[in-house]
Chain A
Amino acid sequence: MSKLYSGAEIVFKCMEDQNVDHIFGYPGGAVLPIYDELQNFKSIKHVLVRHEQGAGHAAEGYARSSGKPGIILVTSGPGATNVVTALTDAYMDSIPLVCISGQVPTHLIGTDAFQECDTTGITRPCTKHNWLVKDINDLAETIHKAFEVATTGRPGPVLVDIPKDIQFQKTKYNRPKKEKKLNGKSHNHFNQNSIDDFIELMSKSSKPIFYTGGGVINSGPKASELLKELVYLTGFPITSTLQGLGSFPGDDNQFLGMLGMHGTYEANNAMHDCDLMINIGARFDDRITGKIDEFSPNSKKVHIDIDPSSINKNVKVDLAIVGDVKTVLSSTLKSLKQKKSKFLKSNKQKTSKWWEKIQKWRSVRSLDYIGSEETIKPQYAIERLYELTKDKDSYITTEVGQHQMWAAQHYKFNKPNRWMTSGGLGTMGYGLPAAVGVQVAHPKKLVIDIAGEASVLMTIQEMSTAVQYNLPIKIFILNNQYMGMVRQWQELLHDKNYSESYTAALPDFVKLAEAYNCVGIRAKTPEELDDKIIEMLNTDRPVIFDCMVDKVENCFPMIPSGKPHNQMILGPKDQESKKITGKGKSLV
């Protein structure tokens, strides 16, 4: 007779078979049997966080930077509810997570038992799927299926809720059978005809643009390689969403920078005026499209996406190719090389006028800002951080707000999986725990959380995690004492009524760092900035870097309220030269 394993053991047996090396979690009553088994599975390391939300974001950072699913282990009730924000965040940004939660014993479910909550009910709208395991014989199959659902198709979070009595019960364990197709939900639905149509559209276009997103990253590093090949082969310009940064080299001449609400002038105008838009793994999010009725009015639109429900959701497209970016791009390249081997040559002339136009938009230099010798401009701080770290293959996470946009604008990414930011949900407090997860996945690499002082305080407790596991993450706080993006909107859109956006009692971040037993560094002037950054980089311990920046700097350029791409507002220089009368007249 084969050996019997307890539910708790089966949880780890499954993880072993799924090649899990790290889990992020927090113990509690309803998962104690699982924690009891932890020591018997040496290949699985547990990272103890300080709050379950931190476990979730750390798992996200781990997943985004490694391409593997992030694993979370939490207890019932508050353990599960605390992780909801991270699950929702991962759902919005298509990050594969597997969350194991404890539950009260089956006979107590529904009795309002201590630390009971309807975990599957609460997490149903923020997971791809979830399961409450009520029979020990279903446990192994369920966990393996959870991994499959999380990592196939459009990735996303899943949750398996395991009552405490199931963790104690015993049954046999069978290794998972080899890849079974999930409910007929295969992911590539395109045929050669659509690839041919796609190539036809590309060869006809004189004003094309690639608009690429997180789907390229999710498809794996090979997809980024293929994208590069296609972009070089066609000679077309390319812009990227916030999530897609890094899939194409940020310092390449064909790259127009990020698009969208705080995207570059050239990227947004090119999106507006193009005659062919090639969306690869992006989803026409409202921060990207601006006013939808006036979104790129004269273009044919191609949409490559693995998720059929992303097609025609916000924007109607002319050609939809449903499939994995890597597969689609590799078919496209194959056909393109066969049929139009001299594509670049034949198209160069056709797109030369388009490139001239783009150069004109580029010459506006929309990311410029007015420098200062007294105060550190936040953009300058990011520029210097980039210059001093660009040779180090660094990993950047962010919180949410102005600093996030400045980081996206001024830090250039040349490789995928180097940029971890909360885009869809916009979760303040994401960056610090995400950095923890990234550093766990890449112990030797430089990991920096570009943060705002308001965001970072939401999950600052995870510094304690970083210290415990000797994770030398760098928390680079652009400290302007305001919730900067809120302040900016209040200035521009709410008649400068700065309602509750100033934090009057901030901690001393240097002393806070010391309290956590890590290193605190403060920079106050542009003059000392470089030295302080170098000091931070030379510190092989967690650092909180308090960068005191201009308090009222705004993030430009910007597509204001319900405007289309070609009606951006540029920075203060431009506003002066255009002499906009009546404050914010153009904004509403």
Chain B
Amino acid sequence: MPNSKSAYSFSNKKEKFDTHIIVVWVDNEAGVLARVVGLFSGRGYNIESLAVAQVDEKLKISRITIVTTGTPQVVNQIKLQLRKLVPVHKVADFKREDKAVIFKEMALFKIVGPNNKLEGALKACKKYNPVILDKTKQSNVIQITALRREIDKMANDLKKFGLVSVSRTGAVAMTRGADIFK
């Protein structure tokens, strides 16, 4: 911006964005998701996907998994800002490339068509442990669990087999091995 007429500075730096999976343990109370999501939107952070559910009925703890992109500085801020929220207990941050962590998304595909198409669809999904949740003469509902880009690819590939509807979750994450995140 050569002729800026503002007292604010303008940044034209292009920095590399990394994809991170942020896991947040929160008290399951009214408005807690709004606080977390509001923090992201208010400070201009990205949310690629979001998965949330209560994981401890007794302690009323929910686990929120957020896939986000940002510069290292932004990702660091996301963690620090989240930790400041009163209902937040702990925050974990994993890089998408991290081999020590499992990431999974689930998708439901509804296929409508003749038998050979339905079979073709099921075959195409073979790699991702497909489960048939519903079956009629003209349709199948197939469930798969996979990585985001694998599901992206399947959603595309299944079109030719008569894919009519896709429903998918955000990513959830868990560390490998016996350790848990403290």
A interface residues (Cβ-Cβ under 8 A, vs B): 120-121, 124-125, 128-129, 132, 149, 182-185, 261, 286, 290-293, 307-309, 311-313, 316, 489, 493-494, 560-562, 588
Contact = CB atoms under 8 A, between A and B. Distances in A.
B31 interface: yes
Interface residues of B, number: 28
Nearest to B89: A183
Interface SS of chain A: loop
Contact of B38 (A125, A290, A494): A125
Give the 3 A-B CB pairs with smallest separation, nearest first: A309-B80, A562-B9, A129-B86
A561 B7 contact: yes
Given A125-B38, A128-B86, A309 B7 contact: no
Contacts of A309: 77, 80-81, 83-84
A182 B89 CA distance: 10
Given A290-B9, A309-B84, A494-B5, 19 more contacts: A124-B35, A132-B31, A184-B89, A185-B84, A261-B7, A308-B83, A308-B84, A309-B81, A309-B83, A489-B7, A561-B4, A561-B5, A561-B7, A561-B8, A562-B6, A562-B7, A562-B8, A562-B10, A588-B3
B61 to A, nearest CB: 12
B80 A308 contact: yes
Interface of B: 3-11, 13, 30-31, 34-35, 38, 42, 73, 76-77, 80-81, 83-89
Contact of A561 (B6, B81, B89): B6
30 contacts: A120-B31, A121-B31, A124-B31, A125-B42, A129-B85, A129-B86, A132-B31, A149-B86, A183-B87, A183-B88, A261-B7, A290-B9, A292-B11, A308-B83, A309-B81, A309-B83, A309-B84, A312-B73, A493-B5, A560-B7, A561-B4, A561-B5, A561-B7, A561-B9, A562-B4, A562-B6, A562-B7, A588-B3, A588-B4, A588-B5
B34 A124 contact: yes
B107 to A, nearest CB: 32
Given A309-B77, A309-B80, A493 B7 contact: yes
Contacts of A261: 7
A129 B85 CA distance: 7
Contacts of B73: 312-313, 316
Contacts of A149: 86
A286 B8 contact: yes
Contacts of B76: 312
A561 B6 CA distance: 5
A121 B83 CA distance: 20
A313 B5 CA distance: 25
Contacts of B38: 124-125
A311 B77 CA distance: 9
Nearest to B73: A312
A493 B3 CA distance: 10
Nearest to A129: B86
Contacts of A560: 7
A182 B30 CA distance: 19
B30 A132 contact: yes
Contacts of B6: 493, 561-562
Nearest to B86: A129
Given A124-B35, A125-B38, A183 B5 contact: no
Given A121-B34, A312-B76, A588-B3, A183 B84 contact: no
A308 to B, nearest CB: 5
Nearest to B79: A309
B44 to A, nearest CB: 13
B109 to A, nearest CB: 36
A184 B88 CA distance: 10
A378 B166 CA distance: 68
Nearest to A134: B30
Contacts of A120: 31
A491 B10 CA distance: 21
A588 B3 CA distance: 6
B156 to A, nearest CB: 38
Contacts of A316: 73
Contacts of B34: 121, 124
Contacts of A489: 7
Contacts of B86: 128-129, 149, 182-183
Contact of A313 (B4, B8, B77): B77
Nearest to A156: B84
A182 B83 CA distance: 12
A316 B38 CA distance: 26
A132 B32 CA distance: 12
Chain B CB within 10 Å, residue with most, of A129, A183, A291:
A183
